[in-house]
Amino acid sequence: MVNRRRAPRTGTAPPLRADDGRWQELLDIAARIFARKGYRSTTLQDIADEFGVLKGSLYHYIRSKDELLFEVVRTVYGGGLAHLRELAGADLDPVERLRAVIRGHVRYLIDNLVGTTVLLHEFDQLSAEHRARLPVRDYQEVVAGLVVDARADPRVKPDLDPQLTALAVLGAANWVHRWYRPDGRRSPEEIGAAYADLLVDGMLTGAGAG
Amino acid sequence: MVNRRRAPRTGTAPPLRADDGRWQELLDIAARIFARKGYRSTTLQDIADEFGVLKGSLYHYIRSKDELLFEVVRTVYGGGLAHLRELAGADLDPVERLRAVIRGHVRYLIDNLVGTTVLLHEFDQLSAEHRARLPVRDYQEVVAGLVVDARADPRVKPDLDPQLTALAVLGAANWVHRWYRPDGRRSPEEIGAAYADLLVDGMLTGAGAG
DNA sequence: CGCGCCCCGACAACCGTTTGGTAGGGCTAC
DNA sequence: GTAGCCCTACCAAACGGTTGTCGGGGCGCG
């Protein structure tokens, strides 16, 4: 978490003015509307209305609508990957670490529901340049690496495909935003625990087929 | 698989003219472009170009763009649900039936990749009326029911949450269209088998925690 | 003839973006 | 202190392009 006020003009296209409360507010509003209606169906008019501004005035904060989407997903993308890597670095035996990672990742996805919704649903609406700066493959690599580690444990199925397993784990987790409701019967912790047990136990040799 | 030529004018809004080769061709083209660019980013111009027609001429086949999307997803929705229920009715012991269902469903999703991509990605772009006619919850209910059946088997974790488990299964499966490539290293059968073993074995009591 | 199939031309609405202007707060020089 | 200045934040109005949709007409075929 870099402490930056008056963000320096580094990189290609940093936000014009970062960290003001108003900028964060705009990001939140945009994320919420993007999540509800979809990027392409969202009008700058929609955002400006909720922001309390004429739509042209938004260009004081953004360079283009595309960049606004990028700024929204960049935050949650970076945060999620950092969080995932932190979990993956825990000092636990590989199997339990995998369990903790799934629990924690599901928890993150739910804690950042609107952001992850936009990231997962509108990712391919980004320009090719912006998309290249968010290599979602990294998520898969982290989880696949953990599966490789776990395979050293004799309890784990030796013929487990790390990539395929990682994709199954991430797929299950990434689907949560489509059905989770804060007033639902299950808490984020219960969901994370259930997913972790289901998926990690599925990697172990047990009563099932080999 | 209903055999219908010259589809009767049942329901609210059947296609103006069904089953002509040209109509099916239009559906395929629309589905492909919707899958690639997204519904909202796809213009009738795009579709008309590939169809070899001026965009106004499309209204000879469709009533509106929204209806075109509906017709695309209706096909794959109905087919997928029918296929899933057929698999769920197989005369197998509940655990093996669940395995077969996951294998078969993944296989279906891959066999109908463009259609399922549109269904899963553009579902909420449908009008509320159209959406109500495609209760996606039905998928969840079918799988949850199978989990309930399987729970009668003593090998299965007795405290398994059917809804949560069904959502995990469907989430993993529904993610496939985001990464599957026909020239990839794994065949549809291998993917389905890997997913089935991972998820079903995860439901069994084994070496893991309870 | 009649009908399916498509062209042609248009329209109204909308959308992202631009340009020019302005109120006001705060810093600085005198 | 106050006049001058700049910067931030926004308004007002427009522009060019695009989009979904529609009506009318023509052509070929059974």
- Which nucleotide in the DNA or RNA is closest to residue A42, CA to C1'? C15
Rounded CA gap, A47 and A66, in Å? 14
- Which nucleotide in the DNA or RNA is closest to residue B60, CA to C1'? C5
Chain B, nearest residue to A192 by Cα = B164
pLDDT digits (tens, 9 = 90+) for A134-192: 999 999 999 999 999 999 999 999 999 999 999 999 999 999 999 999 999 999 999 99
pLDDT digits (tens, 9 = 90+) for A111-122: 999 999 999 999
A124 interface with B at CB cutoff 8 Å: yes
A210 pLDDT above the threshold of 70: no
Nearest residue to A120 (alpha-carbon basis) of A43, A176, A68: A176
What is the predicted pLDDT for the residue at A8? 26
Tens-of-pLDDT digits for all 210 residues of chain B?
A: 222 222 222 223 344 454 588 999 999 999 999 999 999 999 999 999 999 999 999 999 999 999 999 999 999 999 999 999 999 999 999 999 999 999 999 999 999 999 999 999 999 999 999 999 999 999 999 999 999 999 999 999 999 999 999 999 999 999 999 999 999 999 999 999 999 999 999 999 975 444
Residue with tokens 């999703």: B109
Nucleotides, chain D, CB distance < 7 Å: 8-14, 18-24
B201 interface with A at CB cutoff 8 Å: yes
Rounded CA gap, A119 and A117, in Å? 5
Question: Residue A5 CA to nucleotide C13 C1', Å?
Answer: 42
Rounded CA gap, A142 and A101, in Å? 10
| Domain A69-203 class in CATH | mainly alpha
A63 pLDDT above the threshold of 90: yes
What is the predicted pLDDT for the residue at A19? 58
Residue numbers in B near A126 (CB within 8 A): none
Chain B, nearest residue to A201 by Cα = B202
| Cross-chain Cβ contact A176/B195 below 8 Å | no
Nearest residue to B125 (alpha-carbon basis) of B197, B178, B67: B67
Best of A161, A164, A199 to substitute, by most chain B Cβ atoms within 10 angstroms, is A164
For domain B65-203, the CATH architecture is Orthogonal Bundle (1.10)
SS3 A122: helix
Partner-chain residue, chosen from A40, A172, A205, that has the shortest CB–CB distance to B171: A172
Nearest residue to B105 (alpha-carbon basis) of B75, B131, B67, B79: B79
Report the mean per-residue pLDDT for chain A: 90
The more confidently predicted of residues A7 and B84 is: B84
- Which nucleotide in the DNA or RNA is closest to residue B56, CA to C1'? D21
- Domain spans of chain A, in order of start: 69-203
What is the predicted pLDDT for the residue at B206? 76
B53 touches strand C (CB under 7 A): yes
